[in-house]
Amino acid sequence: MIKDNVRKLFDELPPGVRLIAATKSRSAAEILEAVEAGIKTVGENYVQEAEKKFKVVGRRVGWHFIGHLQRNKAKRAVEIFDMIETIDSFDIAGEIDRVCESKDKVMPVLIEVNCAGEKQKSGVLPGEVEPLIEQVRRLKNIKILGLMTMGPFLEDPGQLRLYFRETRRLFERIKSKNLPGVEMRYLSMGMSDSYRIAIREGANLVRIGTAIFGKV
């Protein structure tokens, strides 16, 4: 099933759109089956969960962190992950920078946008994204490569279009400024129920779990 689902997704996704297999609550065996089908990048929400899977899967794939990162997990996150998609404060960016400096590493990151302004969710409000980028781009061991957003949980995924569109406009505005230390390359939006809409609104990274692995 996993292999068939991955192949169907690859057939469907347009050129230039990168598939991230969202592997929260999935086993290392499931990840390896997806890798055999062609998955090249996985996304994990929790550092502790990723550690266990990393011991089995290793560098067969790239690792993206797509959850809320706590300061005390930054050291291990830097060791495991190839990109952190969820930077939402200068505090956590500074900690990642500090850890990376000690390891002679530059960490690619995305700024997470709380596009609907939901109080219970992490991410930066749209109006605060550019000020945060101005701070983070001066850190020597972090490279900003774009934006990421979740979007609110709605019964009708079609209603996410507005939020994805606004995030794309923000992405394009920042890109047009050609800021030093900022390369607006990736727009990470969309999950299993919304990736088609996200792609139409400009996403080039989609984070898909259920449509690959089935329901948990």
Q: What is the pLDDT of residues 24-63, one digit of tens each?
A: 999 999 999 999 999 999 999 999 999 999 999 999 999 9
Of the chain, the percentage scoring pLDDT greater than 90 comes to: 92
Q: What are the residues whose beta carbons fall under 8 Å from the beta carbon of 97, sequence distance 6 or more?
A: 107, 139, 140, 141, 142
pLDDT at 119: 82
CA distances from 203 to 63, 128, 138, 174, 191 (A): 19, 21, 26, 15, 11
Phi, psi for residue 153 in degrees, rounded to 5: -85, 115
Q: Are 198 and 164 in contact (CB under 8 A)?
A: yes
pLDDT at 21: 98
Confidence label for 120 from pLDDT (cuts 50, 70 and 90): confident
Q: Where are the alpha helices (DSSP H) in 69-109?
A: 74-80, 90-102
Task: Out of 130-134, 141-145, 148-152, 168-172, pick the least confident.
Answer: 148-152
Give the tens place of pLDDT for each residue, 65-105: 999 999 999 999 999 999 999 999 999 999 999 999 999 99
Domains of the chain and any CATH numbers: 2-213 (3.20.20.10)
pLDDT at 173: 98
CA distances from 75 to 18, 80, 81, 121, 133 (A): 27, 9, 10, 23, 22
The pTM of the full predicted model, rounded to 2 decimals, is 0.96
pLDDT at 157: 76
Of residues 114, 122, 70, 121, the one with CA closest to residue 96: 70
Of the chain, the percentage scoring pLDDT greater than 70 comes to: 100
The pLDDT of residue 136 is above 90: yes
pLDDT at 106: 98
